Amino acid sequence: FHLAGIRLPPKEKLEIPVLFMPAEMKIYKAVVVIHVMRENGENWPYKVTAESNTDLNRSVIVAENGETQGILWIYPINGTPEAPQQKSVVICCQARQRLEQRVELLLIGVMPGAPALPDAGNSAVVHTDESPSAPEVTDGSSATLEFLYELQYQSDEIRSQLESLVGMQLVEKEWDTESRIVTLIFNVVFAPNKPMR
């Protein structure tokens, strides 16, 4: 963007607002360029030579007589959209009982051919994948999204204790192309053999 005609007195500060409103779940890149010149249009007597610092050569605008005409500051901006964090899913079951529960996870901003998606929650990690054996989700059109999922544990020791007690299976998939929201419904089984958390 361009901010023209802003007068900045010596030792004053200038705040430059940057607004990020991503329309899609992808990386956005831009640069903010600050160009400073003297208000009276005169040049600085400092001359940039071939022996000057290379960073200085890139950021100084040199006049025909070799004096400094202006200074540039270039700030790169990388924008990374994030989906809203879902609330944690809590499943409660008495010890030595078995509970099956449907859990709905929303993936926001999904587009065909999108890169790996953000984690859908603490209990399951969902990735896009090109494998034909992966579960498919479609809205009836030619565009199809595929997902893989897995349970992750805090450690191998906890995995060995819980792997046989916790299970999940993806049972329903729905993709709303207008809102770009994919709804994944899992069937989660919890069968604790003793009181645990």
pLDDT tens digits for range 74-119:
889 999 988 777 788 889 999 999 999 999 988 887 766 544 444 4
pLDDT of amino acid 112: 62
Q: How many domains does the chain have?
A: 2
Radius of gyration over every alpha carbon of the chain, rounded to an integer in angstroms? 28
Q: Are residues 36 and 91 in the same domain?
A: no
Q: Are residues 89 and 12 in the same domain?
A: no
pLDDT in tens, 119-178: 433 333 444 333 333 445 544 443 467 788 899 999 999 999 999 999 999 999 998 888
* Residues paired with 62 in a beta bridge: 68
Q: Are residues 89 and 181 in the same domain?
A: yes
pTM: 0.51
pLDDT reading at 8 higher than 70? yes
**Strand intervals (E) in 123-196:** 124-128, 136-138, 144-151, 166-176, 181-190
Q: In whole angstroms, what is the distance from residue 35 CA to residue 68 CA?
A: 12
Structural domain harbouring 154: 83-112+145-196
Q: Answer whether residue 119 is part of any domain.
A: no
Q: Are residues 191 and 170 in the same domain?
A: yes
Q: Answer whether residue 124 is part of any domain.
A: no
Q: Are residues 101 and 180 in the same domain?
A: yes
Share of the chain above pLDDT 70, in %: 75
Give the residue from 80, 102, 133 where a domain finishes: 80
Q: Answer whether residue 139 is part of any domain.
A: no
